[in-house]
């Protein structure tokens, strides 16, 4: 292959400079309106993503709104269960009864406990009320049902899902975790539902608002 001489290189550069530049499409067009993104406070972003204001029904027969009535400005502990479950649910609920006893009068005043049914078609308020009595659940702890689509949406938003879709479909294999948090401080955590009651109470103290 012949070598590139200085004269040939200069000729090539001259030819290249003679070719008119090709403008990018729309280069001469007027700039569009400037977009300005409205800032969203972190608390509002979290509420929009995780805490829709769905209507639910308590085991006492009261209608409540998920965010406005149950979550907003509260320190809370929540889990999912269903009344006919004979595996992990009754064990977790009994363990949480021990947590409730350790918390004492704080439940329903400083800390709120919520159990959401995975079987809302069967778990009516009356059935959930019987379930609460059977497990000696005290005041300040609500068992909640509602429309199936609403409970399923909450389950997914709150992270009570298994990464394996086949396992996730089977109620008998549902995750036995509990989630705890302080909505006002945007502090959230989770632990196994069968953790020592003292550990769960200590975990709640980590997110508890300080005076």
Q: What is the CATH number of the domain that holds 199?
A: 3.40.30.10
In a domain, 129, yes or no: yes
pLDDT in tens, 120-157: 999 999 999 999 999 999 999 999 999 999 999 999 99
CA distance 105 to 136: 15
In a domain, 8, yes or no: no
Helix (H, G, I), strand (E, B) or coil at 114: strand
Residue 132 is predicted with a pLDDT of 97
CA distance 33 to 17: 36
Instruction: Give the chain's domain count.
Output: 1
CA distance 75 to 207: 8
Give φ, ψ of 26 to 5 degrees.
75, 10
Q: What is the mean pLDDT of the chain?
A: 85
pLDDT in tens, 75-91: 999 999 999 998 899 99
> Which of residues 93 and 173 earns the better pLDDT score?
93
Sheet arrangement for strand 63-65: 63-65, 55-58, 141-145, 111-117, 75-81, 177-182, 187-192
Confidence band, pLDDT 50/70/90 cuts, at residue 174? confident
In a domain, 131, yes or no: yes
Confidence band, pLDDT 50/70/90 cuts, at residue 13? very low
- DSSP class of residue 24 equals P
CA distance 129 to 60: 7
In a domain, 3, yes or no: no
In a domain, 36, yes or no: no
186-189: long-range contacts at Cβ-Cβ below 8 A with a sequence spacing of 24 or more? 186/42, 186/43, 186/46
> Which of residues 48 and 13 earns the better pLDDT score?
48
CA distance 160 to 145: 16
In a domain, 28, yes or no: no
In a domain, 157, yes or no: yes
Q: Range of 189's domain?
A: 42-207
In a domain, 203, yes or no: yes
- DSSP class of residue 113 equals E
């Amino acid at each position: 292959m012949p070598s590139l001489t200085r004269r040939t290189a200069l000729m090539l550069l001259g030819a290249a400079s003679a070719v008119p530049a090709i403008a990018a499409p729309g280069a001469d067009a007027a700039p569009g309106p400037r977009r300005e993104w409205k800032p969203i406070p972190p608390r509002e972003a979290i509420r929009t993503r995780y805490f829709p204001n769905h209507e639910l029904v308590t085991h006492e027969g009261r209608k409540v709104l998920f965010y406005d009535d149950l979550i907003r400005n509260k320190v809370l502990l929540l889990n999912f269960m269903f009344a006919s479950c004979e595996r992990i649910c009754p064990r977790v609920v009994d363990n949480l009864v021990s947590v409730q006893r350790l918390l004492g009068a704080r439940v329903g005043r400083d800390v709120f406990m919520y159990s959401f049914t995975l079987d809302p078609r069967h778990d009516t308020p009356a059935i959930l009320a019987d379930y609460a009595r059977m497990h000696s659940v005290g005041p300040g702890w609500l068992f909640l049902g509602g429309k199936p689509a609403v409970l399923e949406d909450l389950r997914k938003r709150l992270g009570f899902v298994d990464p394996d879709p086949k396992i996730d479909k089977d109620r008998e294999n549902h995750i036995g975790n509990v989630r705890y948090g302080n909505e006002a401080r945007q502090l959230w955590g989770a632990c196994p539902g069968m953790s020592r009651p003292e550990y769960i109470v200590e975990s709640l103290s980590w997110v508890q608002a300080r005076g």
